[in-house]
Every structure is written in C-alpha cells, then in structure tokens.
C-alpha cells in the first residue's frame, strides 16, 4: 500500500510541476503580449495630463498672405519659422484662449529657418520650457501642436516619434530647391501640414525640442532643433530693444 502511494506521488508530482511551469510560461507570454498595451496606455494617460499644460503656450500666426504657427518663449517673444515671417511686417497672433495681439516686428536667423516675433503687450500665456535635441533618442514619443491649414484646425494635436536625427535637408528643400537653413535638423512622424510651420515639438516632459519647418509627408516632417536658440532668448530680446531705438 505504501509502495503504491510512492508510485502515485512519483507520477503526480512531475505532472504538477509540469503544469506549474506551463502556467508560468503562459503567464510570461501573456505579460509580454500585454507589455506594449500597458506602455501605450501609460503614454496615452500621460498625454491627457500633459496637453492642457502646454497648449496655452502655442499660438497661431496670421500674416497678410499666409499663416503659420508659433509658441511663446518669453513675455514678449513668439518663436516661429523664418519662412513664416519673411517679407512681412504685420502679424496677428491668436492665443489658445482666443485672445489676439498685433505685432509688426520680427527678427530671423540668417543661417537657419528660425525667427522671432516681438509682441509689445506683455504676453500672459506661459513661455515653453526649451531643451536640446541631443537629449532625445530615436523612437522617443513626441507631441506636435499647431494650426494645420489655419484657424479651422487651431492648435490641433498630433503625436509620433523621433524618426531621424542629424539630418541635413539643405540641398533638397522641398519648396524652393535651394538652401534655406535646413542644414541641421531632425525628423518626426507627427503630422505636418501648411499652417503648422513654426509650431513646437514637445517631448513627454513638456519640453520643446524643435520647430516644425516643413516636410514631404507624414513620416518625413522636418524640425529645427531648439539648440539653435535655447540659450539666447535674452540676447534676442535685447536685439529687438536695440532695433527699436533706431
């Protein structure tokens, strides 16, 4: 009788162990399948909290013959793309709360597709946080907010990832075929369309890493890195003040 019990134990124990291992394997496989879903859900929840915090810093820029986007970088400065302000001396800035401000002065870089608009009245909207693209990696999630095709899609949100770093598009400018200060930049697959030019690209910490300047399609959208000016905001303000004296 005792021998029979030993035999039963010898048979049952491996089966239990085998079932336990199989259960662990199934659980591990399920956890691997769920991991991307959990991560995606986490990012989505993070975006829901982040977007209201950064939205007020993004603006629409209306020029006499075209329009673009921009973002607040100080009490009087709006950052945008150079091709938004080229040849223009009259701007209507629309803020996220619907209020507007008029502006008639802009400074642009000679070497890069980056520009700044001076607003005489103090800007109530908060300035963005600026950070280097050097701190980003390929595949990092990003958020782009801008007015694609104008006020109809005012401050429209799209998401994507950093799809390319250290890109030089100067020799293949899709609009003019000429060099236009696109020598150093990066790409993302977040939405880019007419009216988005000059809008900011945020990381998931709400830090602006670049300015949208153009692109070929939804997977090849080109950005100027914020590195070009992130330490120069006070100097740019001073340049406007000096220019006003003359």
Q: Which residues are catalytic?
A: 83, 113, 197
The encoded tokens of residue 76 equal 């009087």
What span, in angstroms and rounded, lies between the C-alpha atoms of 31 and 6? 37
Parallel/antiparallel/unpaired status of strands 129-130 and 207-217: parallel
What span, in angstroms and rounded, lies between the C-alpha atoms of 47 and 122? 29
Q: What angle do CA 208, 224, 217 make, to 5 degrees?
A: 100
Residue with tokens 């330490």: 231
Residue among 114, 128, 132, 112 at smallest CA distance from 226 = 132
133 Cβ neighbours under 8 A, 6+ residues apart: 165, 186, 209, 210, 225, 226, 227
Q: What's 36-82 look like in SS3?
A: HHHHHHHHHHHHHHHHHHHHCCEEEEECCCCEEEEEECCCCEEEECH
């Amino acid at each position: 009788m005792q021998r029979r019990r030993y035999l039963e134990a010898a048979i049952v124990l491996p089966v239990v162990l085998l079932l336990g291992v199989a259960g662990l394997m199934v659980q591990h496989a399920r956890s691997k399948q769920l991991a991307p879903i959990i991560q995606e859900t986490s990012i989505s929840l993070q975006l829901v909290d982040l977007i209201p915090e950064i939205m007020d810093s993004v603006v629409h820029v209306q020029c006499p013959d075209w329009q673009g986007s921009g973002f607040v970088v100080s009490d009087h400065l709006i950052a945008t793309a150079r091709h938004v302000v080229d040849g223009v001396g009259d701007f209507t800035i629309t803020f996220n709360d619907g209020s507007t401000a008029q502006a008639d002065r802009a400074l642009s870089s000679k070497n890069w597709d980056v520009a700044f608009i001076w607003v005489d009245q103090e800007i109530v909207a908060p300035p963005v946080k600026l950070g280097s693209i050097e701190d980003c990696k390929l595949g990092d999630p990003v958020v782009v907010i801008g007015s694609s095709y104008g006020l109809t899609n005012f401050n429209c949100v799209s998401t994507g990832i950093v799809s390319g770093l250290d890109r030089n598009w100067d020799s293949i400018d899709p609009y003019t075929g000429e060099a236009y200060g696109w020598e150093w930049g990066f790409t993302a697959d977040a939405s880019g369309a007419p009216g988005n030019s000059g809008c900011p690209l945020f990381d998931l910490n709400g830090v602006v890493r670049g300015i949208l300047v153009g692109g070929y399609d939804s997977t090849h959208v080109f950005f100027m890195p914020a590195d070009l000016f992130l330490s120069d905001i006070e100097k740019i303000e001073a340049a406007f003040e000096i220019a006003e004296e003359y």
